Amino acid sequence: MTDQTAPRAAGLRLRATAGDFARTSLGFFPVVLLLRVYERIVDGASHALPPMTASYCIRALESDIALTLWVAAALAVPVLALAQVSPKSGRVLHRLCLVVLALVGVALVQYFAVTLVPLGADLFGYSWHDIRETTMASRGVSLLSLVPLAFFAAAAWFMPWLALRLPMPRAAGLAFGAVVIVAAGFPSVLTLSAGSFASDTDYYLADNKTSWFVRRTAGYLASRWSAAPVDVSLTGYPLMHRATYDDVLGPRMTLAAQKPNIVFVIVEGLGRDFTGPGAEYGGFTPFLDSLADRSLSWDNFLSTSGRTFGILPSLLGSLPFGPSGFMELGAKMPSHASLVTLLKAQGYATSYFTGTNGHYDNIDVFMERQGVDRFVDESGFSPAYAKQPSEGGSESWGYPDDALFRRSLELIGTSSRAPRLDVYLTITTHEPFIPPRAAEYKPRSSAGSPP
C-alpha cells in the first residue's frame, strides 16, 4: 500500500464505521420508546396517574431523544476507536453497552413504579447488603420479574442489528453526528425543567429515568472528586461568630415540676404528599391533619436526606450527612452529641423501637453510640407476634405497627418511673404497602367508616 492509499483507506474505514455507529445508535431509540410504554403500563398498574396529554407526550419524547443522543455521544470515542482496529468488535461492544443500558433502564422503571420517585445518587447511600434486603422485602426476585429484563435485553441487541441492515445516506449520517455533538455540548437544552411542570409527579413521569439517574450520579461523583480551591489569602475564620439562641419554643409549652416524657414516632413512607392542607394525595391521615391544627407544625421544612438512612442523625442530632449518610460511617462516626445523650445526662431512660432489622443502615451502631438504654428490633419480638405479610417471592419487612406499639408498651410497663425518651420507627406504610388485616380494613374504608 502506497503512502497515498493508506490515508484514503483509513478515511473509508472511518466513514464506514461512523455510518455503522449512527445506525446502531438510532436502532436503540425504538428500545427507549418501548421502555417508555412499559413504564407507563407498570406505573398505571400501581398508581392513579394523571391523564396522558399532548404536552406530556412531547416532553417525554424530548427526554427520550435526549437520552439517545447522550448515549451516542458517550459511546462514540471508545466504539469508533475500537472499530478502526476491528469493525466487528466495535459493533459488538456498542450493542453490549446498549444491552446494559436497557437492563439498567428496566430496573430504574421498576423502582419508579414502586416509589413514584426516580432513583438518583441516593443509591450510593446504601451498602450492597441494604440494597439486597430492600429488594427482597419490596418485591423479591421471581421468574416473572425477569421477563422484562430478558425482553429488553433482546430488543437492545437485535434492534440495532436490524438497523445496521438499513441504508443511511451520507448526509443523514453527518446530520446525526452534528446533532450528537450539539447535544453533548449543550446538554441543558434537552434537559427537562421541573419548573415547567404543574407538579413534581408530572415532572418525574415525563423525565427519562435512566437520564435522571445518570445526571444525578454524575453530579454526585463530581462533588466527591472535585476539591475546593484553596485561597492562600484566607486567614483566620471569617465565618465564625458568637451564636445567639432565642427561646422560641419555651413560651409555647407549659412546663411542670416533673420532667415530661418525650416520644418520637418516625412514620416510614409518609410525606407531605399525603398529610396536611393542600396535600396532593390528601385524606389518608385525617387524625394527623386535625392534630396538626392544634400542634406546632412546619409546612416548610428542609429534608436532609431522601431515604431512611438520614432521619435518625438529622432528627436526634442535626448531624452532617457525610459522604453517604452519617450512619454509613459506622465505627468511624466522629464524636457528637444528640438528644439521646443530652437527655440521658438529665436522668432520662431512653429506648428505640422498630419492627424491622435493626442493623439496616447501621441503625444499631448509631444508637449504640448514643448509649440508648433499650434497643428493640425484630429480634426482640416473641412468637406471639405475627410479622407483616409479604408479596409473592419477597421477604417480610418485619413486624407491623400495631405489634410494634404493643410490644413497646409491654416493655415500658416494667420500666422505672424515670422520665422517658422513646423513639419509634414504623414500617407498615413502607412499600409494598400490605397492612395486616387488609381484608378487614378495605370494606370499612369503602363504607367511609374510620378504621
Inter-axis angle of helices 54-85 and 170-185, nearest 10: 110
For residue range 306-328, list pLDDT tens digits in order: 677 678 888 898 888 777 777 87
153 vs 230, residue with greater confidence: 153
The predicted pLDDT at position 451 comes to 47
For residue range 257-282, list pLDDT tens digits in order: 888 889 999 888 777 777 777 777 77
The CA-CA-CA angle for residues 75, 80, 83, to 5°, reads: 130
Mean pLDDT is highest, among 93-107, 219-233, 408-422, for: 93-107
343 vs 227, residue with greater confidence: 343
Q: What is the pTM of this model?
A: 0.60
**Mean per-residue pLDDT for 410-437?**
80
Q: In this structure, what DSSP letter does residue 379 have?
A: G
Q: What span, in angstroms and rounded, lies between the C-alpha atoms of 190 and 395?
A: 40
Q: Is the predicted pLDDT of residue 99 greater than 50, yes or no?
A: yes
142 vs 408, residue with greater confidence: 408
The predicted pLDDT at position 353 comes to 94
* Residues 6 or more apart whose Cβ sits within 8 Å of residue 77: none
The predicted pLDDT at position 116 comes to 79
Q: Is the predicted pLDDT of residue 232 greater than 60, yes or no?
A: no
The predicted pLDDT at position 134 comes to 59
Q: Is the predicted pLDDT of residue 449 greater than 60, yes or no?
A: no
Q: Is the predicted pLDDT of residue 297 greater than 70, yes or no?
A: yes
The predicted pLDDT at position 351 comes to 93
Q: What span, in angstroms and rounded, lies between the C-alpha atoms of 85 and 13?
A: 10
User: DSSP H helical segments within 116-164, as ranges?
Assistant: 128-138, 143-163
Query: What's the mean per-residue pLDDT of the chain?
Result: 81
Enumerate the CATH 3.40.720.10 domain ranges in the chain, comma separated: 250-446
What is 250-446's CATH number?
3.40.720.10
Q: Is the predicted pLDDT of residue 141 greater than 80, yes or no?
A: no
In three-state secondary structure terms, 445 is helix
User: DSSP H helical segments within 258-351, as ranges?
Assistant: 286-292, 311-317, 339-344
Q: What is the layout of strands, in order, in the sheet containing 374-376?
A: 262-266, 420-425, 349-354, 374-376
Q: Is the predicted pLDDT of residue 240 greater than 80, yes or no?
A: no
The predicted pLDDT at position 375 comes to 93
**Mean per-residue pLDDT for 247-265?**
85
Mean pLDDT is highest, among 54-68, 192-206, 252-266, 421-435, for: 54-68
Q: What span, in angstroms and rounded, lies between the C-alpha atoms of 212 and 200?
A: 14
Q: Is the predicted pLDDT of residue 56 greater than 80, yes or no?
A: yes
- Nearest partner of 75 among 101, 45, 50, 113, judged by Cα: 101
In three-state secondary structure terms, 422 is strand
For residue range 349-379, list pLDDT tens digits in order: 999 999 888 887 788 888 888 889 999 988 8
Q: What span, in angstroms and rounded, lies between the C-alpha atoms of 311 and 305?
A: 7
Q: In this structure, what DSSP letter does residue 277 have?
A: T
The predicted pLDDT at position 234 comes to 45
